[in-house]
Amino acid sequence: MRFLPHTEEDRRSMLETIGMTHVDELFADIPERFLLKPGTLELPEAASEAAILRHFGRAASANLHAGQMRCFLGAGTYHHFVPAAVDHVISRGEFLTAYTPYQPEISQGTLQALFEFQTMIARLLDMDVANASMYDAATSVAEAALMARRVTRRDRVLMAESLNPRYRAVTENYLARNGGHICIQPADAFDERDPIPSLARAIDDQTACVIVQYPDFFGRIHALAPLRAACDEHGALLVVAFSDATAFGLIEPPGHFGADIACGSGQALGIPMSFGGPHIGLFACRQRFVRQMPGRVCGMTEDAEGRRGFVLTLSTREQHIRREKATSNICSNQGLMCTAIACHLSLLGDAGIREVAMRSAAALQKLIEQLPPAITPAPGAHYNETVLRFPDGKLRDAFIRAAREAAIFAGIPLETLTDRQTHAADLLVATTEIISAEDIDDYAAVLHRTLEPRK
């Protein structure tokens, strides 16, 4: 067994040192009736590395993926380009195979990378501070709601229906067992009216926070100023969620609107889609709430000789100290993804992030311009995601099938995400800088072809 270094002689002599003759004696404290006979579990036989590669390789090649397909899928996961250097850096054994940096003197690499990550995320979102990650966007939003309830000592959480339904569902689930109540303010992709004023009116003196996604789940962008004003009036927190953080290379970030907490996905900043994980949840807030923040944070300090160094800090919030009174139960987070993002963002810099965002937005704009008249795009301003309304669900599904034939994942049937039959003719479409002009031409061509028989 290639992962086990001992020889039989090592084992024998080590047992002898302990005063044992047989390995079974090491398990004498387990009641005999619970001990298994070796080799009796119903598992496949041991496999060589070559056999494993073959098994997994076959399974991998049975999938379609964004390397072969033109990917117009979004809803929280985006196919942005990740330079090889990012993967190289996080493949370094010193980053990859380190534990949580509890011994800072021999973990300064991870710690400095975390500090750089926190700084970049705070700057990208224009927030005071960021933590060292949450599991994903959905749990990050849930933790934001819990934090807002701690800060305000209120129970009511108000969410816009235009918050990604998965973030919403996980947040409702996290809150459901701790009392309080949740209000959902209706919103629809095709409503021409600005939904923000009515959301602002729903904030009251019992409201812990309002959670709004920006750009929202349907890809729309709205000015959030009325929410800030209403939150100030009623003492509630403004929580701004997001799905594709590249947006803030181009449009004003959550901090611009005075967000108290900004939370969402960092997957778009250098993490492969990987069928949903591992991704990363970003979490940033105002300095004054830092002691109510969930998750690990890295802080700057000095060593015994006055030299700069970094440590995990504010740990009195955390489970290993505070136990049942901790701000969160999170322990392992998405550490390696922080390093990936710090690396990716420094390769891009301000100019590169803006360029990614410009191209992602331009691709969507070009796509919208080429839509046949029978297809209605959602109204309003969009970054890189929108909803296309088809004359009916059958046509939409025919288009999805035809597009797949042309190596295009055309979008996500909206009702599969929202569970609303009113969305059964809607398609959620996203673009990134990977989508070329030719991809869009092909998309439009298939769309026109699919609609042609109607003429």
Partner 1 sequence: MSATRYSATTGLVHEEPLLFEQAHEQHEAMALPGCAAEEAPSPLASFLRQKPAGIPGLSEPEVVRHFVRLSQWNHGIETGFYPLGSCTMKYNPRVHEQIARMPGFAQAHPDQPEDSVQGLLSLLFELQQALGEITGLPHVTLTPAAGAHGELVGIMMIRAWHDARGDDCRRTVLVPDSAHGTNPASASLAGMRTVELKSGPDGQIDLTELKSRLDDRVAALMLTNPNTTGRFESQIAEICDLVHQAGGLVYGDGANLNAIVGKARPGDMGIDCLHINVHKTFATPHGGGGPGAGPVAVNEALAPFLPVPRIERQGEQYRIVRSCPQSIGPVFGSIGQVGVLLRALAYIRAFGRDHLHRIAEDAVLNANYILHRLKDAYHVPFPGLCKHECLLTDKFQNRHGVKTLDLAKRLIDLGFHPMTIYFPLIVHGAMLIEPTETESRRTIDAFCDAMLEIARACEKGEVQPMLDAPTKPFRRRLDETRAARKPVLVWPERANGSSADRS
Site for partner 1 in 96-155 (CB under 8 A): 96-110, 112-116, 118-120, 122-124, 126, 128-130, 132-133, 135-139, 146
Instruction: Give φ, ψ of 283 to 5 degrees.
Output: -150, 120
Q: How far is CA 397 from each of CA 70, 389, 401, 444, rounded to the nearest angstrom? A: 17, 12, 6, 15
Token pair, residue 4, equals: 């086990």
Interface positions, 225-254, toward partner 1 (CB under 8 A): 248-253
Interface positions, 333-352, toward partner 1 (CB under 8 A): 333-337, 339, 342-343, 345-352
β-sheet bridge partners, residue 239? 211, 261
> Which of 8, 153, 179, 454: binder of partner 1 (CB under 8 A)?
179
Token pair, residue 133, equals: 């990650």
Q: Does residue 41 interact with partner 1 by CB under 8 A?
A: yes
> Which of 85, 225, 407, 445: binder of partner 1 (CB under 8 A)?
85
Interface positions, 190-209, toward partner 1 (CB under 8 A): none
> Which of 8, 61, 405, 455: binder of partner 1 (CB under 8 A)?
61
Angle subtended by helix axes 84-91 and 335-369, to nearest 10: 160
CA distance 222 to 212: 10
Interface positions, 365-384, toward partner 1 (CB under 8 A): 365-366, 380-383
> Which of 70, 95, 228, 266: binder of partner 1 (CB under 8 A)?
95
150-158, 162-170, 181-189, 234-242 -> range binding partner 1 (CB under 8 A): 162-170
Q: Does residue 447 interact with partner 1 by CB under 8 A?
A: no
Q: Which is nearer to partner 1, 5 or 373 (CB)?
A: 5
For residue 262, give the amino acid letter. Answer: A
Q: Which conformational region is residue 258 in: left (phi greater than 0), alpha (psi within -120 to 50 degrees), or beta?
A: left
Q: Does residue 393 interact with partner 1 by CB under 8 A?
A: no
> Which of 21, 197, 407, 416: binder of partner 1 (CB under 8 A)?
416
In the complex, minimum distance from the CB of residue 72 to partner 1, in angstroms, rounded to a whole number: 10
In the complex, minimum distance from the CB of residue 455 to partner 1, in angstroms, rounded to a whole number: 28
CA distance 85 to 30: 49
177-185, 188-196, 226-234, 441-449 -> range binding partner 1 (CB under 8 A): 177-185
Using an 8 Å Cβ cutoff, are 249 and 357 in contact?
yes
Q: Does residue 353 interact with partner 1 by CB under 8 A?
A: yes
Please calculate the CA angle 277-382-396 and round it to the nearest 5 degrees. Answer: 75
Using an 8 Å Cβ cutoff, are 128 and 113 in contact?
no
Q: Which is nearer to partner 1, 49 or 452 (CB)?
A: 49
What's the chain's length in residues?
A: 455
Interface positions, 268-287, toward partner 1 (CB under 8 A): 272-279, 286-287
Q: Does residue 169 interact with partner 1 by CB under 8 A?
A: yes
- Give the number of other Cβ atoms within 10 Å of residue 229's Cβ: 14
Where would I find the H helices in 372-436? 393-405, 414-418
Interface positions, 422-441, toward partner 1 (CB under 8 A): 432-437, 440
β-sheet bridge partners, residue 157? 182, 209
DSSP state of 398: H
In the complex, minimum distance from the CB of residue 448 to partner 1, in angstroms, rounded to a whole number: 19
